[in-house]
Structure 1
Amino acid sequence: MEPTDRTRIRRGRHRAVADRSDLLALLDDALVAHLGVVVGDHPVVLPTAFAVDADGPDEGGTLYVHGSVAARWLHESAGATVCVTVTELDGLVAGRSTFHHSMNYRSAVVIGRARVVEEPAERQHALDLIVDHMIPGRAATLRPSTRKELAATAVLAVPLTEASMKARAGGPVDEPADVAAGVWGGHVPVRRVIDAPVPANDNPAGLDVPPDVRSRAS
């Protein structure tokens, strides 16, 4: 990934990740993005489901988010420059001083001009990608969206042209004197756990968990 002036990492440059495949792997692994946009006279940062099409219509690929057509933040995002961040926490780093406590993480920042997806086929494709990002293969098992549902849902596309990634792994980096003092140092790995599916109360009796959901929980 070639950084631009807006995505060039200036602090902690040794943690910069330049390989685009690592960025795509993070975006594939993470489930929640945060979209930052100026709404009126103040910035707003909102969590959102998302999905990525690495071969999408925008230069560098396309990141999609969706929301209600009535949401003010979505209207303000259309045609505006937005910032989308994605973070996965991988560990808590226990240093031998307050200064050297840290976290292990993978994080990405995407900056770009958002566009409202108007073309029906691309919009349906984006919505299917968002569903499948949560539960792979799920979209193909669902009924088509109704015209009313589509009319109530807007999709934003953000190009992946300007993106940066940072990552940290491993234990603390402490001062030699602190190590010699005999204080314990190390890190506590953190991982996401997906439990067994819980059926809805109104499922028909005897209805099995479908393979796509079962696979997601395995």
Structure 2
Amino acid sequence: MKNIPPHLIPSRLPKRAHYDYETIYSILDEALFCTISFVVDDRPFAIPTAFVRYEDKIYIHGSVGSHFIREIEKGIPVCISVMLTDALVVAKSAFSHSVNYRSVTIFSNAEKIEDFETKAAAFEWLTNKIVPNRWSYLRPMKKNEVLKTTALAFSIEEASAKVRSGMPKDEEEDLELPIWSGLIPIPVQRLQAIPDDTSKDIQLPAHLQ
């Protein structure tokens, strides 16, 4: 990404910032949820929601009656943030504790998807991201369900990533202290699927195994 806007440059530890699309896209593709922040009538709002990246845009959806959706579909400026936490970084002093993380910040404006086919495709992309290979297993989406749902796209043109990895960075004078320091990994994992009452006699599909 060329000509980095000042608002994308972190005020602290700028060496952790990344502006290449490979880094940004990899974080967006792993994360399931983002937080969309915006201002309406001088009041700040921050709404968490599921999202999916497809090519150079991210997509979200919501009810056509949602106050949140109806406000941002007007194209007002929004800030979209994503964070993945990989490990707790425990040092020899509280001051040096940290977190290994990967994050992305995007400044953008919503583009309402009016084309029916693109809109339906966005729902498929999102469904398959949340639960891989789920879409083809489900009953087809009804036309009125598509019409009752709004799909919004956001350009990833103004985006930056920030990454922290590695062991604690203790002060030099603390390195010989007899205090344990290191990493506590906190991986995200999907556990065994649990059926509801209507599915107890249905074989678990291959995409959920």
**TM-score bracket relative to the smaller structure:** over 0.9
Distance 1:21 1:42 in 2: 35
Q: Give me the whole-angstrom Cα distance separating, in 2, the residues matched to 1:127 and 1:177.
A: 55
Question: Could you tell me which of 55, 65, 73 is aligned with 2:68?
Answer: 73
Correspondence for 2:114 among 106, 118, 123: 118
What SS does structure 1 have at the residue aligned with 2:69? helix
Aligned length, in residue pairs: 207
Determine if the alignment matches structure 1 residue 106 to structure 2 residue 94. no
CA RMSD of aligned residues (A): 1.5
Residue identity over aligned pairs, in percent, reads 31
Please state whether the residue corresponding to 2:6 is helix, strand or coil. coil
5+ residue gaps, structure 2, are: none
Provide TM-score, normalisation by structure 1. 0.89
Give the match for residue 31 of structure 2. 30
2:21 aligned partner:
20
Is 2:174 the counterpart of 1:173?
no
- Give the direction of change, closer, same or farther, for the CA distance of 1:204–1:176 in structure 2 (3 Å limit): closer
Relative to the length of structure 2, the TM-score reads 0.93
Q: CA deviation at 1:204?
A: 6.6
- Counterpart among 138, 146, 149 of residue 145 in structure 2: 149
| Aligned pairs (5 A) from 1:46-85 | 46-54=47-55, 61-78=56-73, 79-85=75-81
Q: Secondary structure at the match of 2:9?
A: coil
Distance 1:40 1:145 in 2: 36
Give 5+ residue unaligned stretches, structure 1.
55-60
Q: Distance in 2 between matches of 1:139 and 1:111?
A: 30
Q: Secondary structure at the match of 2:151?
A: strand
Query: Cα offset for 1:142?
Result: 2.1
Assess if the C-alpha contact under 8 Å between 1:37 and 1:76 holds in 2: no
Partner of 1:184: 180
